[in-house]
């Protein structure tokens, strides 16, 4: 994002959720969209060269980072042109997402290459809304048994040649890939992803406990929408779920919308993984922010009723209509985590996992001014992306 000549901005009288503690009566000073100082107590409010925002005691937290999102406001990353990308990023910014990873679906090699190409070109210019920081390839190397809303026509075993072509043409664009680790060639593929600095995530998988552990030995570091579309926990065969709950090397995505995962299961996840092991995602599709009706996820027809999207043919959940602020509230109000822990799961953990934590993900000097102001009901009042206000 271009910062232009924004000058100084001071947000004061806030409860600042910093990495190590919440700062009461805190303040954050930005210059040209970058955080330059964080402090507490009295500060000069008479400076004429600085715009002032009185936070009135509200929470100031880092902007949300959504590592798994397919679309919103009627657009889908699978087909979105530049205008569609702006539609998606504008919608999610309105709900607190300041960084976003454009997520694909299982599709042909040509379609996936086209998504990478469009996203690469979009990222090469100043982005006006939530900052697209890369691509998450969800598939096509997944399990037919646990395909969920993935198109079965394009499911394939891992193809190293595809990966090498993609990273050669679009260096550093792919940040994350979801695959089924039990498929033929998956272990070598995971190792290559890891060598390239791409996060390997297990999802849409029938992997056994032993297969997940073996994958983690080769570099697997994430679980895609944990509990959903994966072999479940059994006390004699812990399965994919048992492995990701107990292996400290693996961070776990979760869709905290009350439909995909029962709140008690999320409590179990938090108890097992801790505040640093959970990543909040939306898995939002094009129907997010739209009225009930007929939509698509990729090429598959979807019907949304009462805000819940399901495939028309199977009734499987088809992504979600969740926003990050809704997921954040659910974690605090229903699951019972603290605001600070929910913030870590929505911002700090994804930034660290993606390797962008030197730029964003916490309220720290030197980082981009991606900030949210929330009241005690966790209603958003202000969103800043690179220090620029985003209208709600």
Could you tell me where the beta strands, DSSP code E, fall in 163-242? 174-179, 199-202, 222-223
pLDDT at 1 over 80: no
Catalytic residue (one of 66, 76, 283, 357): 283
pLDDT at 3: 38
Please give the pLDDT value at position 5: 56
| Positions at the binding site | 138, 149, 204, 225, 228-229, 236, 260, 317-319
pLDDT at 4 over 80: no
* Residue percentage of the chain with pLDDT more than 70: 99
Q: What is the pLDDT of residues 30-67, one digit of tens each?
A: 999 999 999 999 999 998 899 999 999 999 999 999 99
Does residue 283 carry a catalytic annotation?
A: yes
Give the span between the Cα atoms of 383 and 196, in whole angstroms. Answer: 33
Question: pTM of the predicted model, to two decimals?
Answer: 0.97
Residues annotated in a binding site for Zn(2+): 138, 204, 225
Closest by Cα among 205, 198, 187, 280 to 243: 205
Q: Residue 267: how many CB atoms within 10 A of its CB?
A: 14
Rounded Cα–Cα distance for residues 281 and 328 (Å):
10
Residues annotated within a binding site for substrate: 149, 228-229, 236, 260, 317-319
Residue 299: pLDDT band (50, 70, 90) is confident
Helices (H) and strands (E) in the chain, counts: 10, 21
Closest CA to 193 of 239, 226, 223, 159: 159
* DSSP state for residue 63 in the 8-state scheme: P
Residue 47 has what pLDDT? 87
pLDDT in tens, 229-244: 999 999 999 999 999 9
Instruction: In whole angstroms, give the CA distance from residue 158 to residue 140.
Output: 8
More confident residue, 6 or 309: 309
The tokens of 175 are what? 């940040």
Q: Encode 226-257: b = buried (16+ Cβ within 10 Å), e = exposed.
A: bbbbbbebeeeebbbbbbbbebeebbbbbbbb
Q: Which domains does the chain have, with CATH numbers?
A: 8-61+364-390 (2.30.40.10), 64-354 (3.20.20.140)
Mean pLDDT in the chain? 96
Decide: 50 and 56 in contact? Cβ < 8 Å: no
Q: Tell me the per-residue pLDDT of 182-230, one tens digit each, with 9 for 90 and over.
A: 999 999 999 999 999 999 999 999 999 999 999 999 999 999 999 999 9
Bridge-based pairing of strands 174-179 and 371-374 is: unpaired
On the question of pLDDT at 358 being above 70, the answer is yes
Structure confidence by residue, pLDDT tens digits, 133-146: 999 999 999 999 99
Q: Which of 284, 308, 282 is nearest to 297 (CA)?
A: 284
Structural Rg of the chain based on CA atoms: 20
């Amino acid at each position: 994002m271009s910062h232009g000549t924004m000058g100084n901005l001071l947000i004061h009288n806030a409860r600042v959720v910093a990495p190590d503690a919440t700062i009461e009566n805190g303040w954050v000073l930005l210059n040209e969209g970058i955080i330059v100082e964080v402090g507490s107590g009295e500060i000069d409010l008479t400076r004429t060269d600085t715009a002032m925002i009185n936070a009135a005691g509200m929470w100031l937290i880092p902007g949300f980072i959504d590592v798994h999102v397919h679309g919103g406001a009627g657009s889908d990353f699978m087909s979105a042109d530049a205008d569609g990308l702006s539609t998606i990023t504008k919608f999610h910014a309105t709900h607190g997402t300041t960084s976003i990873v454009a997520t694909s679906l299982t599709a042909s090699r040509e379609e996936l290459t086209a998504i990478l190409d469009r996203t690469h070109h979009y990222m090469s210019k100043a982005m006006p809304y939530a900052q697209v920081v890369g691509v998450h390839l969800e598939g096509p190397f997944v399990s037919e048994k646990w395909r969920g809303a993935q198109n079965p026509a394009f499911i394939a075993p891992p193809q190293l040649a595809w990966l090498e072509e993609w990273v050669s043409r679009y260096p550093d664009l792919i940040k994350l890939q979801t695959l089924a680790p039990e498929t033929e060639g998956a272990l070598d593929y995971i190792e290559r992803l890891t060598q390239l600095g791409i996060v390997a995530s297990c999802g849409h998988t029938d992997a056994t406990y032993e297969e997940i552990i073996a994958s983690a030995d080769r570099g697997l570091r994430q679980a895609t929408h944990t509990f959903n579309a994966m072999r479940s926990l059994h006390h004699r065969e812990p399965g994919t779920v048992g492995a990701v709950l107990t292996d400290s090397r693996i961070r776990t995505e979760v869709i905290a919308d009350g439909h995909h995962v029962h709140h008690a299961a999320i409590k179990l996840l938090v108890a097992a993984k801790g505040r640093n092991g959970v990543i909040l995602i939306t898995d939002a599709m094009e129907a997010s922010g739209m009225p009930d009706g007929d939509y698509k996820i990729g090429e598959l027809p979807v019907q949304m009723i009462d805000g819940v999207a399901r495939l028309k043919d199977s009734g499987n959940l088809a992504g979600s209509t969740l926003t990050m602020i809704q997921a954040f509230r659910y974690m605090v109000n229903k699951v019972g985590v603290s605001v600070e822990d929910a913030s870590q799961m929505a911002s700090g953990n994804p930034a660290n996992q993606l390797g962008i934590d030197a730029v964003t993900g916490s309220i720290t000097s030197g980082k981009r001014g991606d900030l949210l102001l929330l009241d005690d009901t966790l209603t958003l009042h202000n969103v800043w992306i690179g220090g620029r206000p985003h209208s709600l």
